[in-house]
Amino acid sequence: MGYVFSRQKERQSRQTSATQETRLELFENMEDGGEVARGAITKKVASPGKATILALGKAFPNQLVMQEFLVDGYFKNTNCDDPELRQKLTRLCKTTTVKTRYVVMCEEILNKYPELAVEGLPTVKQRLDICNNAVTKMAIEASRSCIEKWGRPVSDITHLVYVSSSEARLPGGDLYLARGLGLRPETRRVMLYFMGCSGGVAGLRVAKDIAENNPGSRVLLATSETTIIGFKPPSADRPYDLVGVALFGDGAGAVIIGADPDSSIEQPLFELNSSSQHFLPDTEKTIDGRFTEEGISFKLARELPQIIEDNIEGFCKELMGITGNSGNDYNKVFWAVHPGGPAILNRLEKRLELLPYKLNASRRALMDYGNASSNTIVYVLEYMLEEGLKMKGEERLENEWGLILAFGPGITLEGILARNLTV
């Protein structure tokens, strides 16, 4: 991915201003120092024994990429002057709907590792050295933010679920995260590696199962991703790489999950009622990732949005049936969908005949952060809470139940039937 690096410190003001107005509304009745999980005004009671989301957190690297400057920066950083590839990337940047993204890559890294911008050189060691440190740092920052909002001490965390498609090492990133946070040595850890864009919802599913089967447990789910693992110069032999350049971003997300919240301090945001996972046979090559000496190479088949459109309705009906909603009015539930790209969101909206506002949270996350792989669903859920504040009357009733969805390699569909406890 190519970048303009002149706006490194802008991320703090952007992260704050993006949610400042909503946070004021959320926290106006709370004590000073309240945050999302502590400040959310819960309207409904979670079902006994069901896992709930108790806090959300996020973190980003310092470099903020403005989409309008990306093309010039990328071709400058990679010393490429191919006008046809430049034109293609310019078109892609306009169609992705992305406005800003955060990235680990910076001039300092390119000056230290100039070989990353050279075609054909073996650089997997250099990439992993950068990525392993970067994802741990972001995961620690996101987790600390989440724990602070949760309001309980870090020693109360009993389990850790760690998700990433951007690192590879032994021991894994789960151990480095646990050590960085000061988790107890007996904290039980699970790693989910290389699940791509479905990793965040898969992590929620695993954390839900842990929380519901271990009474009193509190699970920290952390996701962390960086595109440096697949950074490459533009090549006419790999035109599909430009899709990733125009679409993907870096960052981390964190979620605290537990059943039977302590009402004296914990205020649940979403109930995770039931979950489902389904892979589509003979679609293994549709999202194809390879770990090579030059890092990870991805190929996304053109038919990916169509395949998701053809299969999503049956998958959603199965989950929605639990609520007693056996009809086809998909506008009576909320939709927290991983924004893999605008084409996927557009196809889903068309197939399910959703009203345009139903995917607002997903489209906002895509616009502000790009497709940040497993992290993005955390950003969508935060925006979903903001969207809930704008709802009134009947609209609130139609957004109590909803679906949390993501699509990843396999092709794998991940889904969770959830209740928004704040509307």
Q: Which residues are catalytic?
A: 197
- Give the CA distances from residue 262 to residues 45, 207, 269, in Å, rounded to whole numbers and listed in that order: 11, 18, 13
**Kind of pairing, strands 334-337 and 401-408?**
parallel
- Side by side, the strands of the sheet bearing 401-408 are 188-193, 159-164, 219-225, 251-259, 51-59, 270-279, 412-420, 401-408, 334-337
Peptide linkage before 411 cis (omega within 30 of 0): yes
Give CA angle at 141 (7, 241), nearest 5°.
55
Burial of 182 (0-12, 13-18, 19+ CB in 10 A): exposed
3-state secondary structure of 291: strand
d(CA 119, CA 232): 7
Peptide linkage before 268 cis (omega within 30 of 0): no
